[in-house]
Structure 1
Amino acid sequence: MEPWLFAPRARRGPARAPVCRGLPGAVLFDRDGTLIRDVPYNGDPGRVRPMPHARAAVDAVRERGIPVAVVTNQSGVARGLLTLGAVEAVRRRVEELLGPFDLWAVCPHGPGDGCGCRKPAPGLIRAACAALGTDPRRAAVLGDIGADLAAARAAGAHGVLVPNDVTRPEETAAAARTAPDLLTAVRRLTARPEGEP
Structure 2
Amino acid sequence: MGGTGTLKAVLFDRDGTLVVDVPYNGNPQLVRPMDSARSALEQVRRAGLATGVLSNQSGVARGLLTLNQVHAVNRRVEELLGPFDVWEICPHGPADGCTCRKPAPGMILAACSTLGLHPSQVAFVGDIGADVEAATAAGSRSVLVPTHVTRPEEIEAAGVVAENLLAAVGLLLDAATGTTGGEFQKPDARQDSPV
1:79: how far off? 0.7
* 1:67-106 deviations in Å (ceiling 9; x for gaps): 0000100001111111111011101100111011011000
1:22: how far off? 6.5
* 1:22-78 deviations in Å (ceiling 9; x for gaps): 641210100000000111100100100111100110111001110000010000111
Answering whether residue 111 of structure 2 is matched by residue 103 of structure 1, we say no
Q: How does the TM-score come out when normalised to structure 2?
A: 0.87
Q: Match of 1:151, as an amino acid?
A: A
- The equivalent position to 2:101 in structure 1, one of 108, 115, 118, is 118
The 8 Å contact of residues 17 and 145 in structure 2, kept in 1 or not, is answered as yes
Higher relative contact order (CA 8 A, sep 6+): 1
Name the residue aligned to 1:193.
178
Q: Could you say if the C-alpha distance between residues 103 and 115 of structure 1 is closer, same or farther in structure 2, counting changes exceeding 3 Å?
A: same
- The equivalent position to 1:60 in structure 2, one of 16, 19, 43, is 43
May I ask how many residue pairs the two structures share in their alignment? Answer: 176
Give the whole-Å Cα distance in 1 for the aligned partners of 2:93 and 2:131: 16
Q: Secondary structure at the match of 2:78?
A: helix
Give the whole-Å Cα distance in 2 for the aligned partners of 1:100 and 1:138: 20
Q: How does 1:37-186 map to 2 (within 5 A)?
A: 37-186=20-169
The 8 Å contact of residues 99 and 106 in structure 2, kept in 1 or not, is answered as yes
The 8 Å contact of residues 117 and 124 in structure 1, kept in 2 or not, is answered as yes
Q: Secondary structure at the match of 1:118?
A: coil
The 8 Å contact of residues 5 and 120 in structure 2, kept in 1 or not, is answered as no
Deviating runs (4+, > 4 A) in structure 1? none
1:188: how far off? 1.5
Unaligned runs of 5+ in 1: 1-16
Give the whole-Å Cα distance in 2 for the aligned partners of 1:154 and 1:49: 30
* 1:149-191 deviations in Å (ceiling 9; x for gaps): 0000000001110001111111001111011110011011113
Q: Match of 1:99, as an amino acid?
A: G
Q: CA RMSD in A?
A: 1.4
Q: Match of 1:182, as an amino acid?
A: L
Q: Match of 1:64, as an amino acid?
A: A
Unaligned runs of 5+ in 2: 180-195
Q: Secondary structure at the match of 1:70?
A: strand
Q: What percent of counterpart residues are identical?
A: 61
The 8 Å contact of residues 58 and 93 in structure 2, kept in 1 or not, is answered as yes
Q: How does the TM-score come out when normalised to structure 1?
A: 0.86
The 8 Å contact of residues 127 and 144 in structure 2, kept in 1 or not, is answered as yes
